Amino acid sequence: MRALRLLAASTAMLCAAAAGQTPWNVPVPPLPQTEPPPHPKPHPKIFDLYPQQPSLTPAFTIRVGALGFHSPGSFYLLRRRALVSLDFLDENRLLFTFRKPALERRDAENADTAMARQIQALVLSLPDGKVETQALLTVPDQARYLWMLRDGHFLLRDQAGLEQCDATLKPQPYLHLPGRLLWIAMDPEQQVIVTNSLEPATAPPPTSGEAIGPSSGQAAAAAGAQKPGPREMLVVRTLRMETGKSIKESRVPWAAQTNDWPVNSQGYVESVRGNGAQWTLNLDSFSGAGKALGQVDSTCLPDAAFAAETELIVKTCVVGGGGDLTAMTVPDGARTWQAITATNAMWPQLVMAPDGSRLALETLLLKRPATAYKRKKLIGAQDLEGQMVRVMDAADGKVKLESPLRPILDGGGNVSISPSGRRVAILNDGAIEVFELPPPAKMPATGAAPRPASQH
């Protein structure tokens, strides 16, 4: 009988536990959830409409026909060639450069100068558009040739490397390399410069202080159309701009790559692919240390750029077209805002204000969502609605200006933001249009909660 009583008590305890009761006041953990986790929300699909006119009235315009500029022919469309550059030297002066077709030279006997061309450079005062200085400058090919520095200076790519100019438009030697310079990148504070060039593979390797630079998948330049010779290697150098001292130098095999890699004064950001569409963003320090900034989901290689020393803008893609534009702080990786990009947008380009306060997103707009062209081998001019730009505050992603860009210049160079972020200049409808904007929003504190996605 005693054994039966013990068995009955044990059975009662087990049944009570199974029922979620607590006999003798002993806590019992809840049963595990058996329901499947909810499915993630589908990514919103945004289809951008081509703006027929700017959302703001220009403060003043400068007609470019009188300056000698003519829209490039349809031959250049979708070839991503650098045909113009438009940059603020300061708040009251613009540097406008463009190709001069009648002055292009072809030297079949000299391969190094066969693609060289001359461009017309003009320094324009604002708001009257008066030409203060003009000159003809020689560039080696049809890739990007001009990068702005601070205090009204800029770098110009030539056959031997880089030259430095100012408003006088008189180039001075800046950096010469033993090979063919392809591309450069600078941090927002312009403390370091990264160059990549094709150089003879038989040249002596780097000596003391050699370190590993960007991996071969990240290191090739956007001027990838220039294929290396049979005995050439891609050489990546990171230099201190003030002293010219080398921080890193590496030689890697050539790898076709169509985008730059973002760099700040501490290191560069590399995208490392994980499972499926997952990517890890790593900040690889020049000292050799590394730090993971976070993970993003993207069906394409994430495209990133530093808006400021501590703010990174990341562009990702999703299935079905479109994607996200995300701002995150560095080095903690906190996300401050996110915007949705359109399903019919193509070839996005980011243009940053020198002080990092604002950014401009240029895109080509297709007539239909990008997925409608997946069976098509090539996209042609007949598939394009046009080119447009949106100017946003880097602090919160809010749009301050939207405008068409005519003619289409898919190589960029047709949008510029002034050093203060208060003025924006665009090349549109045969004129340089300059817009006055209110003061930009202030940057959020590091670690701030992300703002909800907006429809951009």
Q: How many CB atoms lie within 10 A of CB 405?
A: 22
pTM equals 0.81
Percent of the chain at pLDDT > 70 equals: 77
Burial of 330 (0-12, 13-18, 19+ CB in 10 A): buried
Per the CB < 8 A criterion, the answer to whether 297 and 279 are in contact is: yes
pLDDT of residue 373: 86
pLDDT of residue 225: 41
Band the pLDDT of 94: cuts 50, 70, 90.
Answer: very high
Tens digit of pLDDT for each residue in 52-89? 999 999 999 999 999 999 999 888 999 999 999 999 99
Per the CB < 8 A criterion, the answer to whether 401 and 358 are in contact is: no
**Distance separating alpha carbons of residues 212 and 227, to the nearest angstrom:** 23
Tens digit of pLDDT for each residue in 237-296? 899 998 888 888 888 765 544 446 789 999 989 899 999 999 999 999 888 788 999 999
Residues 6+ apart with CB under 8 A from 387: 362, 363, 364, 365, 404, 405, 406, 408, 409, 410
Mean local confidence (pLDDT), 421-432: 97
User: Is the pLDDT at 16 greater than 50, yes or no?
Assistant: no
| CATH T-level fold of 43-455 | Methylamine Dehydrogenase; Chain H (2.130.10)
Residues 6+ apart with CB under 8 A from 87: 94, 95, 146, 148, 154, 416
Per the CB < 8 A criterion, the answer to whether 176 and 161 are in contact is: yes
Higher pLDDT, 377 or 296: 296
**Distance separating alpha carbons of residues 27 and 21, to the nearest angstrom:** 8
CA dihedral over 206, 212, 216, 218, signed as positive or negative? negative
pLDDT of residue 188: 93
